[in-house]
Amino acid sequence: MRCVVLHESSKKIRIKIPYPYMSMQRADLVEYYIRNLDVVKEVSVDERTGNAVVTFLNSSEKDKDSLFSALSVFDPSDERIKALVPENTGREMNRKYEEKLFFSVTGMVMRKIFLPTPLAIARSIAKSIPYIVKGLVALKNGRLQVETLDGVAIATSIIRKDFDTASSIMFLLNVGETLEEWTRKKSINDLARSMSLNIDKVWLKKDGKEIQVGLNQVLAGDHIIVRNSEIIPLDGKVIEGEMTVNQSIMTGESEPVVKSPGGYVYAGTVVEEGECIIEVTKTAGSGKFDQIVKMIEESEKLKSDTEAKAYRLADKLVPYSLLGAGITYLLTRNATKALSFLMVDYSCAMKLSMPLAVLSAIKECREHRISVKGGKFMEAMAEADTLVFDKTGTLTHATPTLMDVVSFEGRDPDEMLRIAACLEEHYPHSVANAIVKGAKDKGLDHDELHSKVEYIVAHGISSFLDDERVVIGSYHFVMEDEGCIIPEDEAYKLDEINREYSRIFMAIGGRLAAVLCIFDPLREEAVEVIKSLHELGFKKICMMTGDNKKNAEAVAAKLSLDEFCAEVLPEDKAEFVKNERKKGHKVVMIGDGVNDTPALSEADVGIAILDGAPIAREIADITIASDDLYQLITLRKISTALMKRIKANYRFILGFNSALIAGGLFGVMNPASSALLHNGSTILTGLKSMTNLLPDTKNI
């Protein structure tokens, strides 16, 4: 594909795509293909003009050459390029609403100029019927709603033979509804597109072997393997094995569902127990957008208490608006003043701006790589006074380092590391990742040597190697639960291990074969983050860890924590959180492992680390990136600012609309002006609610 350069600057270029007619689908293919290039920061393709505006990361001629080289081999029929495009890009939706608004405005102008008065009157009467019917239906159902106000206002204008006012009111209502609907859908769709599954690699079953490949390399018909606590990356059909799947995010089912051969599974759902081979039916970028949109819409039902109170008050004010209009007419005998009273309500602005404020805040969080599942959790984050941290992978680095492998009975340390990496790569956790990386750094290949791998929650992994049972995990699991023994005369090796290292034990055939030494230092930012969180209103910051007491005590002292508990099991963490809530505290729990999930579920707000266990991310209410604890400060600030915005919107809507009502009551403005200002303020409040809450969304 040869493109024509229309304009260029140091970091931006505008090019003409050489297609005589560019469909919306083709425009999406070009846009997402260019966006996926490493040298590109931003791109926008206009299907009407066929132009693409590309912004580069650097002002380098090499970047532009890379763009043109990529475009020269662009093939719209390539399945891998098609997989880059999300299921719903929003392009068709935006075009639909742009055209709807254009034809509404131009139609109104044309009617004013060319439509004869008798036909205009007939049209106004016909168009008024649906509004009046909606108002009557609301009354019949015993509810006084905004539709009732609209119906009464339009009916009154028709009865007074003020057809111009009736027509203007209906036009403004139609434009207002279109803008509200467009704004709301755009916010939801933008957020849905930003909520990726954060899965880059999958296990592909090919020629009897398990191969780890990139998600975009998987095609329909390929076989992939999913195991305990993993997120299912693609839609597909189970062809082998059995598992229970938590698919509440997609279907709303509260209980895990058993999946056996022939059963269908959805991308984004989580394996709770078991292992299956899935035949992929839909590749990356398809099959899940509608479910994610549904999840977002459902999460809006988890409104904050502040939102809910504003909604209830707005609905309660509708009868008073009708009563005020009636009293105004009785006292003044002026239908215009009464009509102006009816043209203003509080509900529209609140029911548009409040959800938009929440959706915008959630989207702003996504810009900081923070994923939030609902406004309820942001309010709880703003009001929380107690924070509970897990240690490993949370307060310590998400990427600990393998420092040493201590082998027993003359076994080769590299061979022990190779076996350990082969087991650990199936159940990624920060420590497991360190072992896998340690093997990779040494150039140790670890093809599948073992039989089926079994994960024991909060303890370790077991499998079989040449008919010998292999277990890897904590000392408690390997040496106590499994009853493995330390080879004679080699116990001294344990005493020689640096006490700063975490220890992962591996036994083969019931005898200790190796100890893998992991260095897991505190995050550099941890001290400053804990201090800032105290300053932002957290009165109690605690740590719960399975590590030994001495290590935990040292960490707690370095971080100035208010409390800590060591050598705890998953149920202990959950019980601690539960007791804190019973004392009247609002609790935030932060963790990254399968063993943290009971506590994450028990807390008012559960926060998971992105690189942690998939099931922890699924259960958590909020997910943060693994490389930066400063995101907790950002989250607290955004949550607090959101609550302030909701309250400010509430005060403005009450004040401004009350002023409009007063203006109509005293004859300062007519009904059409009241409707225009009311709808205008509703849209402006909605647009304001969509702006970022923090002054600089990139540097917090």
Give the pTM.
0.65
**pLDDT tens string 228-242:** 777 788 889 999 988
**pLDDT tens string 115-124:** 999 999 999 9
Phi-psi category of 483—alpha, beta or left, where left has phi over 0 and alpha has psi -120 to 50?
Answer: left
Map residue 76 onto helix, strand or coil: coil
Is residue 561 predicted with pLDDT exceeding 80? yes
CA–CA separation, 40 and 37 (whole Å): 6
**Which of 40-44, 264-268, 382-386, 487-491 has maximum average pLDDT?**
382-386
| Residues 6+ away with beta carbon under 8 Å from 6 | 14, 15, 16, 51
b/e map 685-697, b = 16+ CB within 10 Å: bbebbbeebbeee
| The predicted structure's pLDDT at residue 396 | 82
If you average pLDDT over residues 329-347, what whole number do you get?
73
**pLDDT tens string 192-205:** 665 555 566 788 88
Cα 287 off chain centre by: 17
Contact 430, 612 (CB under 8 A): yes
- What long-range pairs does 157-165 form, CB within 8 A, spacing at least 24? 157/339, 157/671, 158/124, 158/125, 158/128, 160/335, 163/120, 163/121, 163/124, 163/125, 165/339, 165/670, 165/671, 165/672
| The predicted structure's pLDDT at residue 697 | 46
Q: Which of 106-115, 484-493, 603-612, 620-629 has the lowest mean pLDDT?
A: 620-629
Percent of the chain at pLDDT above 90? 26
Residue 592 φ/ψ, nearest 5 degrees: -135, -5
Burial of residue 490 (number of CB atoms within 10 Å: 0-12, 13-18, 19+): middle
CATH label, 401-519, candidates 3.20.20.70, 3.40.1110.10, 3.40.50.970, 3.50.30.30: 3.40.1110.10
CA–CA separation, 658 and 656 (whole Å): 5
Mean pLDDT over the full length of the chain: 82
Map residue 570 onto helix, strand or coil: helix
Cα 525 off chain centre by: 25
Alpha carbon dihedral 155, 352, 673, 120, in 10-degree steps, equals -50
Which comes out higher in pLDDT, residue 363 or 346? Answer: 363
558, containing H or E segment:
helix 549-559
**String of DSSP letters for 264-305:** EE-TT-EEEEEEEEEEESS-TTSS-HHHHHHHHHHHTTS--H
Name which of 538, 248, 531 is nearest 380 in CA terms. 538
| The predicted structure's pLDDT at residue 674 | 74
**Which of 276-280, 302-306, 444-448, 661-665 has maximum average pLDDT?**
276-280
Task: For the chain, give the number of residues.
Answer: 700
CA–CA separation, 571 and 380 (whole Å): 23
Burial of residue 77 (number of CB atoms within 10 Å: 0-12, 13-18, 19+): exposed
CATH number, domain 370-396+522-624: 3.40.50.1000
Other C-beta atoms closer than 10 Å to the C-beta of 65 total: 11
Residue spans of the domains in the chain: they are 4-85, 95-192+302-356+642-689, 201-287, 370-396+522-624, 401-519
4-85: CATH architecture: 2-Layer Sandwich (3.30)
201-287: CATH architecture: Distorted Sandwich (2.70)
| The predicted structure's pLDDT at residue 698 | 42
| The predicted structure's pLDDT at residue 700 | 38
Cα 633 off chain centre by: 18
Query: What order of strands is seen across the sheet that includes strand 540-544?
Result: 370-372, 622-624, 605-609, 587-591, 386-390, 540-544, 563-565
Q: Which of 88-97, 308-317, 461-470, 515-524 has the lowest mean pLDDT?
A: 308-317
**pLDDT tens string 385-410:** 999 999 877 888 756 889 999 999 99
| The predicted structure's pLDDT at residue 457 | 52
Angle between helices 413-424 and 430-441 (to 10 degrees): 130
Name which of 539, 478, 544 is nearest 511 in CA terms. 478
Contact 342, 173 (CB under 8 A): no
| The predicted structure's pLDDT at residue 310 | 65
Name which of 686, 682, 578, 694 is nearest 635 in CA terms. 694
Is residue 699 predicted with pLDDT exceeding 50? no
CA–CA separation, 699 and 409 (whole Å): 53
Instruction: Give the pLDDT band (50/70/90) at residue 253.
Output: low
b/e map 187-200, b = 16+ CB within 10 Å: bbbebbbebbbebe
Residue 243 φ/ψ, nearest 5 degrees: -155, 160
CA–CA separation, 381 and 370 (whole Å): 13
b/e map 503-523, b = 16+ CB within 10 Å: bbbbbbeeebbbbbbbbbeeb
Token couple for 655: 């004040």
**pLDDT tens string 463-517:** 888 788 999 988 888 988 889 999 988 999 998 888 778 889 999 999 999 999 9
What is the DSSP-derived secondary structure letter of residue 393? I
Token couple for 527: 């001290």
CA–CA separation, 12 and 33 (whole Å): 17
Q: Which of 214-228, 371-385, 655-669 has the lowest mean pLDDT?
A: 655-669
**Which of 223-237, 248-262, 321-335 has maximum average pLDDT?**
223-237
